[in-house]
Chains A and B, each alone.
Chain A
Amino acid sequence: DAGITQSPRHKVTETGTPVTLRCHQTENHRYMYWYRQDPGHGLRLIHYSYGVKDTDKGEVSDGYSVSRSKTEDFLLTLESATSSQTSVYFCAINKGGQQETQYFGPGTRLLVL
């Protein structure tokens, strides 16, 4: 158990609506990440955070924003959901001692109709 929870675990929404996904960690790790996983593409980084209010873009950041107001929470927002954002979203953290490795949450399945 990586000490990560994601909410909601499943969501169905309509095109054009805003959606916020939450990642919560219990161990005060500095680095947090959002990935999406799609068939044929594997896991790709959307955004990551290296501290409270410190975030940066990843490979596929267009259409997404993030916020981190507390160490334990990292929020991913789809400003105006599109069908191409239908995916499985994973949050990950780096744990101390092995900073190079990442540990993943259980994922959120998002369907945009």
Chain B
Amino acid sequence: QKEVEQDPGPLSVPEGAIVSLNCTYSNSAFQYFMWYRQYSRKGPELLMYTYSSGNKEDGRFTAQVDKSSKYISLFIRDSQPSDSATYLCAMSAWQAGTALIFGKGTTLSVSS
């Protein structure tokens, strides 16, 4: 079993839809959870960061962490064509110096 599992998609939605992206993980030591957005031929861009369990909201984006289920989610409300990208979940157990463990990414396409 991979440490982090993420459905690669692709996921296609119409503009204005609510998008749900998910990752599951197996290592119960993970405490730090991140979502990155990556546009084609660009570097990953940090989108959301959450420590331990709970929700975090930033504009149209909400990140949820359920450590009991080892499951994290990213919700995008009122999706826009500019949200079309690959979304990577990432997580780590410790602080600086530890590798992030990434999911393989979900490709999202939002059509106008």
Contacts and interface: CB of A to CB of B under 8 A. Distances in A.
Contact of A103 (B41, B46, B92): B46
Interface in A77-92: 90
A31 B97 contact: yes
B104 A41 contact: yes
B81 interface: no
User: At the interface, is chain B mostly helix, strand, loop or mixed?
Assistant: loop
B43 A42 contact: no
User: At the interface, is chain A mostly helix, strand, loop or mixed?
Assistant: strand
B18 interface: no
Contact of B43 (A33, A59, A105): A105
Contact of A100 (B45, B96, B105): B96
A50 B97 contact: yes
B7 to A, nearest CB: 13
